[in-house]
Structures are given as C-alpha cells and as structure tokens.
Amino acid sequence: MNVYDFTVKDRSGNDISLSQYRGKVLLIVNTATSCGFTPQYDDLQDLYEAHQKDGLEILDFPCNQFGEQAPGSDEEIHSFCTGRFGITFPQFAKIDVFGENQIPLYKWLEENSKFEGFSGFMGMIVSGAVKKNDKDYKNNSKVKWNFTKFLIDREGNLCARFEPTTKMSEVKKQVEELL
C-alpha cells in the first residue's frame, strides 16, 4: 500500500484519487488558519514556488481538531489562505486526522511514521497542550498538532514526518534531496 491507494475530497466534495500525483514528491500537511504555526503557509508557498516545476506538490488538509483553530468553511479557509498567504498549492476539504472520523489517508500516515518529538521553545508550549489530551503522546504515532508534515517520494512511499516545530529549513532540505 502507498499514498496512491487513497482517495480524498476536494473543497467541493468531489473525490480526488491521489494516484493523479504519481511521480511527484508530495508534502502532505494538516493546517489551520488561526494557529501559532499558520505563518508556515508563507514558507510552504515559497517552497512550492521554488520546486513545483521540479515535481513537488504540497497537499493541504485543513483540520479543526486542535484547539478549533480552523473554524471556517472550506471556502472561507481557502479564501483566507489565498488572500493572506497567496497559496497556490492544492487545498482539500477540511478533515479529521484522528478519532472515529479520521480519514484513511491519515490512518495510513500515522501507522507508517513515528513521532520524533517537538523541538525548541514552541515545542515546549505544544507539548503542554498535547499532554492534556494524550498523556502517552510521546509513545504513539498519532498526529499531535496542526502543521504536521509528511514527505512522500515519487513512488508513493512515506519517507519522513515533520512535527510543526521542525524548522522549515530541515523540511526544505529533505524535500530537495528527494527532488
């Protein structure tokens, strides 16, 4: 099984097979519009502009499960992201990344990656928030917060997971290595 085996919903509710991204390097991100990490949209857009021509696609999945930080409709979220950050990469329908309504793609991403910990000052803040809901968060692979990123190679295999506190320079480096 790989990422191409999954179908997701676009902002209009249409089924989109991820097989349409076959041969591309993918960065899959669960996002939120009112999060301390929301400025990462700028870095993601810069990365996309620099490397889309090389075969990079960033797949944006808004999620309202962490602190209710993506409360708008799919269209409101998209309007905010394009207006404020100028994003041009694909943005899909809002999803659940955990719980009974977790989409299969995120179940697969969790099952095939490990939580490596948070870093820096923001890592201490996020750790405190995460620990309230998941006392064993350090020992499971659940997605912990908004702007967790998953790197997929051109064959559809999961290669890396980046927590939201990972420096974007590290994300960029590993993306460029795959390209």
Report the CATH number that the domain containing residue 11 is assigned in CATH: 3.40.30.10
Structure token pair of residue 153: 């190679």
Nearest to 155 by CA among 9, 16, 14, 18: 18
Q: How far is CA 140 from CA 10, 28, 29, 145, 177, in A?
A: 29, 19, 19, 13, 27
Question: How far is it, in rounded angstroms, from Cα 36 to Cα 10?
Answer: 25
Number of independent structural domains in the chain: 1
Mean pLDDT over 71-88 rounds to 94
- Over the chain, what is the mean pLDDT? 95
Question: How far is it, in rounded angstroms, from Cα 92 to Cα 16?
Answer: 9
Mean pLDDT over 70-91 rounds to 94
Give the range of the structural domain holding residue 45, as residue numbers without chain letter: 3-178
Above 90 in pLDDT, residue 133? no
Q: Which residues contact 107 (CB under 8 A, 6 or more apart)?
A: none
- For residue range 111-123, list pLDDT tens digits in order: 999 998 999 888 8
Q: How many other CB atoms are found less than 10 A from the CB of residue 15?
A: 8
Question: How far is it, in rounded angstroms, from Cα 149 to Cα 171?
Answer: 9
Nearest to 156 by CA among 65, 25, 67: 25
Catalytic residue numbers, as ranges: 35
- For residue range 21-66, list pLDDT tens digits in order: 999 999 999 999 988 888 999 999 999 999 999 999 999 999 999 8
Structure token pair of residue 89: 């990469």
Beta carbons of 96 and 65 less than 8 angstroms apart: yes
* Buried residues in 113-147 as b, exposed as e (16+ CB within 10 A): bebeebeeeeeeebbeebeeeeeebeeeebbbbbb
